[in-house]
């Protein structure tokens, strides 16, 4: 029997390589399920960045896998060009200092 978390990590690797901007979050871009995810969605929408999302609430293996993949304990997690950028606090700081927009283009 295969390990669901290992499979989730393989999927994460594929996703971050296939999508220039991808956010692992609680909920969807249309219905965020936590305030931190909603803040990051608002920032990405404000900057007009096309992005993909993955809802960690729909899959326990994905929820655990993303935390292990980055060794980062919280969600949301933003990836740009296959690089982990950070969670909500880091995204907010980059947005407020004007450093996020160039990263996304």
Q: What is the pLDDT of residue 105?
A: 85
Q: What is the pLDDT of residue 1?
A: 58
* pLDDT tens per residue across span 52-64: 999 999 999 999 9
- Residue 88: Cβ within 10 Å count: 21
* pLDDT tens per residue across span 62-93: 999 999 999 999 999 999 999 999 999 999 99
Question: Kindly report the CA angle at 9 between 101 and 57, in degrees rounded to 5?
Answer: 75
Grade residue 2 by pLDDT with cuts at 50, 70 and 90. confident
Alpha helices in 1-105 (DSSP H): 4-18, 35-47, 60-70, 88-96, 100-104
* pLDDT tens per residue across span 27-36: 999 999 999 9
Q: What is the pLDDT of residue 28?
A: 96
Q: What is the pLDDT of residue 41?
A: 98
Order of strands, sheet of 21-25, starting from the edge strand that comes earlier in the sequence = 52-55, 21-25, 77-80, 83-86
């Amino acid at each position: 029997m295969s390990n669901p978390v290992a499979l989730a990590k393989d999927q994460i690797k594929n996703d971050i390589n296939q999508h220039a901007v991808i956010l692992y979050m609680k909920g969807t871009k249309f219905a965020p399920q936590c305030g931190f995810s909603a803040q990051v969605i608002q920032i990405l929408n404000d900057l007009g960045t096309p992005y993909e999302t993955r809802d960690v609430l729909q899959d326990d293996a994905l929820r655990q896998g993303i935390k292990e993949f980055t060794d980062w304990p919280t969600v949301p997690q933003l990836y740009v060009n296959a690089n982990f950028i950070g969670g909500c606090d880091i995204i907010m700081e980059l947005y407020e200092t004007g450093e996020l927009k160039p990263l996304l283009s």
